[in-house]
Chains A and B, each alone.
Chain A
Amino acid sequence: MAGAVPAKPGKVLYGGVLVEVTFVAWSEVATAAALSFHLAPSFHGDHVLGDPTGHLARLRREIEPVFAAQRADRVAAVFAAIGSRLSTVDPERPWPELVTSWLFPTSLTAVVPLVATLRTPTVRLRYSAARSVLAPPRYEELLVLLGCADVPREVVAGHLDRLSAVFDRAAAVVYTPFLFSADITTAARPVRSTAAASLSSAVTTARRRSGSSRRPHGAR
């Protein structure tokens, strides 16, 4: 969109469909989309649902022919994002923020193979999608870096149960705006809890014990 970009509305129900709404400045789209690993895939294939000005169709005509050729540049952009974000992690931040500031750039390591193979990067499904394009040992390496290669499914299930209760309580009282506050809503609950439980159940590969420094449960 042109002009000032309003805050991200996030997940909203529209005509019975849960949609994720984000505003992006047209100047950013027009100048950076081709080499952006999260914007360019939207112009690879026919994903545009509405384009009253015709700007998006014009941009697609520019990006589509060079989309494959520029994947190495987009892969480099992912690595640049990982390196810069991890290098600037502030250890003095509150624990939840510190964990998040480590988690998001680390999980971009699963986006790399998706960008390299011209697949659409995802958020919640990025590891599942990466698994479909990587040899098992390489996928396992990503899980080791994330620290969850040896997490038993029942532990994940237990935390999901607890998360559901925490989510409902938080959604009832949330009022402080922050980057993901639009996700803490009743409308977004199926994505946070139901879909997460389904994803967890779908992971059937047994995880080997990595011998990491993880302490036994209960040792805090």
Chain B
Amino acid sequence: MILDREDPWFRDLVADLVGFHDRAELLARRDRVLAALPKLRAQASELVRAR
């Protein structure tokens, strides 16, 4: 068995588990996470106040 950075297993793993097939998809998700931060921050403030 030969493994390297381009091993298809790793590409399949990433595609199957987090849905990325290429860099564009990863960067788009990165942007979605960044866009979600204000909402997550508001939710976190609720948790802090509730405790």
Contacts and interface: CB of A to CB of B under 8 A. Distances in A.
User: Are A and B co-members of a single complex?
Assistant: yes
B12 to A, nearest CB: 7
Contacts of A215: 15, 21
Given A112-B44, A117-B47, A102 B16 contact: no
B44 A116 contact: yes
A106 interface: yes
The binding surface of chain B is classed by DSSP as: helix
Interface of A: 68, 71-72, 75, 79, 82-83, 86-87, 89, 91, 94-96, 98-99, 102-103, 105-106, 109, 112-113, 116-118, 133, 138, 141, 145-148, 151, 155-156, 159, 162-163, 165-166, 169-170, 212-215, 217, 220
* Interface size class of chain B, counting residues whose CB lies under 8 Å from the partner chain: 35 or more
Interface in B17-34: 17-21, 23, 25-27, 29-30, 32-34
29 contacts: A79-B44, A91-B26, A91-B27, A94-B5, A95-B5, A95-B6, A95-B11, A95-B23, A98-B23, A99-B14, A99-B20, A99-B26, A105-B33, A106-B30, A109-B40, A112-B44, A116-B48, A117-B47, A138-B43, A147-B17, A148-B17, A148-B18, A151-B16, A169-B3, A170-B3, A212-B19, A213-B19, A215-B21, A217-B16
B43 to A, nearest CB: 6
Interface of B: 1, 3, 5-6, 9-21, 23, 25-27, 29-30, 32-34, 36-37, 40-41, 43-45, 47-48, 51
A141 B32 CA distance: 12
B16 A113 contact: no
B14 A112 contact: no
A220 B33 contact: no
B10 to A, nearest CB: 6
Contacts, number: 109
A91 to B, nearest CB: 5
A86 to B, nearest CB: 5
Given A147-B29, A166-B9, 8 more contacts: A79-B41, A82-B37, A86-B30, A91-B23, A106-B33, A138-B43, A151-B16, A162-B9
